[in-house]
């Protein structure tokens, strides 16, 4: 309730005063460089947002370690509020960060979150490697954490509350998705239903694959729309 009240107050400050210390953090996905988010970062800057395209070593560094560093980096900045735009595993980094930020009353208000194809209920491609031990060391510690089993790390992380959260879902729009190793429709790595948390403010599905969701203009405009308004349409 306290954070909900703060959210309302912060919205009023932004609308009527425009001077709150506010930053939008962009988080790339597993095994990607931060440059993958460059176009979205540029779009946000054009709209006047203060942004940080945040880099982290997602391939070989444990998710909890990444999340704790993100938390510590944010609290150093003396911000009033933050928003996040995440791609893929970046959404899990933000959820893992909540294990630290939710107990810190001094942590800035989390205003809005846009998750682009997040493996919130796990990534279906991670299940493919589940029984292939030869890949485990090569793929690092986080692939196993993104399995779709109900007891997996991804499925046990905190869920953002008292914030406006939008999810952009990728799909092919056919019975078979972009990846034939995954049953049913998918964006190449994740089934549409596995991106959801159940308390989203808004969702939108686009017929684009996992990486195209970051680069294509029609998805980038949806990101900007949500960061600005709290909805995609």
7: which DSSP letter? H
Q: How confident is the model at residue 166 (pLDDT cuts 50, 70, 90)?
A: very high
- What are the domain boundaries of the chain? 2-229
Question: What is the pLDDT of the chain when averaged over all its residues?
Answer: 92
Predicted confidence at residue 16, as pLDDT, reads 40
Hey, CA dihedral for 130, 211, 205, 50, is it positive or negative? positive
Fold exhibited by the domain 2-229: Rossmann fold (3.40.50)
Mean predicted confidence (pLDDT) in 116-142: 86
Q: What is the mean pLDDT of residues 192-219?
A: 98
The stretch 62-84 carries a mean pLDDT of 97
pLDDT (0 to 100) of residue 159 = 98
DSSP string of 69-133, one letter each residue: HHHHHHHTT--SEEEEEEETTHHHHHHHHHHHHTT-TTSPEEEEEEEES--TT--HHHHHTTT-H
pLDDT number for residue 8: 54
The pLDDT value recorded for residue 134 is 58
**Has residue 10 got a pLDDT over 60?**
no
């Amino acid at each position: 309730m306290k954070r909900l009240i703060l959210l309302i107050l912060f919205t009023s400050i932004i609308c009527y005063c425009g001077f709150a210390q506010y930053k939008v953090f962009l988080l790339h996905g597993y095994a990607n460089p931060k440059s993958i988010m460059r176009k979205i970062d540029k779009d946000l800057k054009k709209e006047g947002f203060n942004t940080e395209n945040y880099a982290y070593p997602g391939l070989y560094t444990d998710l909890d370690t990444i999340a704790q560093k993100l938390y510590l980096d944010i609290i150093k900045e003396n911000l009033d509020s933050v928003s996040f735009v995440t791609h893929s595993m970046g959404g899990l980094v933000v959820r893992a960060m909540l294990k630290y930020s939710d107990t810190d009353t001094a942590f800035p208000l989390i205003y809005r979150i846009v998750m682009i194809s997040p493996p919130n209920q796990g990534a279906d491609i991670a299940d493919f490697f589940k029984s292939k031990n030869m890949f485990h060391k090569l793929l690092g510690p986080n692939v196993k954490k993104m399995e779709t089993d109900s007891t997996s790390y991804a499925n046990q992380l905190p869920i953002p509350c008292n914030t406006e959260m939008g999810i952009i879902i990728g799909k092919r729009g056919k019975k078979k998705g972009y990846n034939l190793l995954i049953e049913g429709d998918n964006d190449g790595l994740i089934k549409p239903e596995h991106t959801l948390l159940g308390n989203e403010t808004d969702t939108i599905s686009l017929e684009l694959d996992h990486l195209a969701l970051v680069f294509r203009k029609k998805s980038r405009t949806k990101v900007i729309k949500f960061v600005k308004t709290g909805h995609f349409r």
